A and B are shown apart, each in its own frame.
Chain A
């Protein structure tokens, strides 16, 4: 169905590999380690690498601008750069911050800025769902567990980090492996395969029109109340009038090709049906489209999602109810580590 366009050379592979190498060095420097800790320098180097690639991509996009009087924009909006910078910087800080609570908070920042990217991509429903589910629910659970599962600080050094937080495991190998993978991935994306074409290159509006006539019109036909409300708001029909519905399916009688809607006649002796023009404001929102796609086209997979969630809930309950055998040696060590005041308080209060 899809035609392949000529490959667009977006970015020079040498620039891509150089940026990946610089980024690997930056992330390696930014990962926590014991003595010398040049995190700021590492972050700056990694940010420089990301900026290099984005600049290269931007220049590539600008050079490939089609030669028309009013070319469609090949560059993303300025908000893309802002949100992408915040998201990547926060995710880098998340994996390099030695304290888990701060890491979780930086993860929330990453989530919020990728919600900004979702909004630019006009996926409003998923953006708000992400804020509610991730930043609201999952991250709160993480914060609870971080507070449950943290050793009590010792008396002498209340700010001391645990050993496993203060130093990373094999930072050089990890960042090397990661950025080799990134170089491969981005090469595949930008050079190795041809850029997938839009649906209809000859007709730049074709994709949108074809889309509106099929998916969106289908959704609107299933929402006769919305069509009616939209017509009333535009003053095209009176309050008593209603639109024609298909007698078998109950769908609204709308004709997306001609952009008309069939309504009941305004008076008794008039024509049997009135054909009204489709108002500009009548369009399905993102939430309606996603909802219909979810419930009408993928009803089986939503059941599977429910089963996954149920299983996870059961599993978590079973896991957390299990009794843990703590050996006596460890108990003695814990008791010795507790300060004297706390020990007497624990004795008095009982546990």
Chain B
């Protein structure tokens, strides 16, 4: 029981020791689950805006995995690359939302199923 209490430390120290592989797995699972929730939302929802929100959720999950790996290897390059995830997410939000406004003005609806002539 004492050893259990010892393992439940409340926060990691400022500049960390290397990560334990098992602790890394917890973060990777959360990241994977978040990504999959975003994927399901993108596939299942019909509102264009929510579909693009779900892609942002997937970016977010990728960022979490990058940060966890950066902590595991004690490299800051992983954190640096989250900057690029943020950049791409911001660019995607700007373009996607411009497109959504354009599509909404054309069909007066946000339903993604209305644009099914692009199926081929």
**Contact surface of A with B, Cβ cutoff 8 Å:** 5, 8, 10, 23, 27, 31, 50, 53-54, 57-58, 60-62, 64-65, 71-80, 84, 87-88, 91-92, 94-95, 100, 103-104, 107, 110-111, 114, 117-118, 120-123, 125-126, 129-130, 133-134, 137-138, 141-142, 145-146, 148-151, 162-165, 167-171, 173-175, 177-179, 181-182, 185-186, 189-190, 195-199, 204-205, 207-208, 211-212, 215-216, 283, 286, 289-290, 293-294, 297-298, 301-302, 305, 308-309, 311-313, 315-316, 319-320, 322, 324-326, 330, 334
Let me know if B99 and A123 touch, CB within 8 A. no
Which B residues lie within 8 Å of A216 (CB)?
15
Distance A95 CA – B37 CA, assembled complex (angstroms): 8
- 19 A-B Cβ contacts within 8 A? A57-B29, A61-B25, A64-B22, A73-B6, A100-B49, A107-B56, A110-B60, A122-B14, A134-B86, A189-B25, A189-B29, A195-B21, A198-B21, A286-B79, A309-B91, A319-B102, A320-B102, A324-B102, A325-B106
- Residue among B26, B38, B73 with the highest chain A CB neighbour number at 10 A: B26
Distance A163 CA – B113 CA, assembled complex (angstroms): 11
Distance A190 CA – B38 CA, assembled complex (angstroms): 22
Let me know if A169 and B89 touch, CB within 8 A. no
B21 → A minimal CB distance (Å): 4
Distance A54 CA – B67 CA, assembled complex (angstroms): 19
Which A residues lie within 8 Å of B109 (CB)?
151, 162, 164
Let me know if B36 and A75 touch, CB within 8 A. no
Let me know if B23 and A73 touch, CB within 8 A. yes
Question: 5 more A-B contacts (CB under 8 A) besides A179-B36, A289-B76?
Answer: A78-B10, A100-B50, A111-B60, A293-B76, A305-B84
Set A76, A92, A212: member contacting B26, Cβ < 8 A: A76
Set A121, A179, A289, A311: member contacting B67, Cβ < 8 A: A121
Let me know if B79 and A293 touch, CB within 8 A. yes
Please name the 5 residue pairs, one residue from A and one from B, whose CB atoms are nearest each other, closest first: A95-B41, A312-B91, A207-B18, A174-B43, A61-B22
- Residue among B28, B56, B63, B107 with the highest chain A CB neighbour number at 10 A: B56
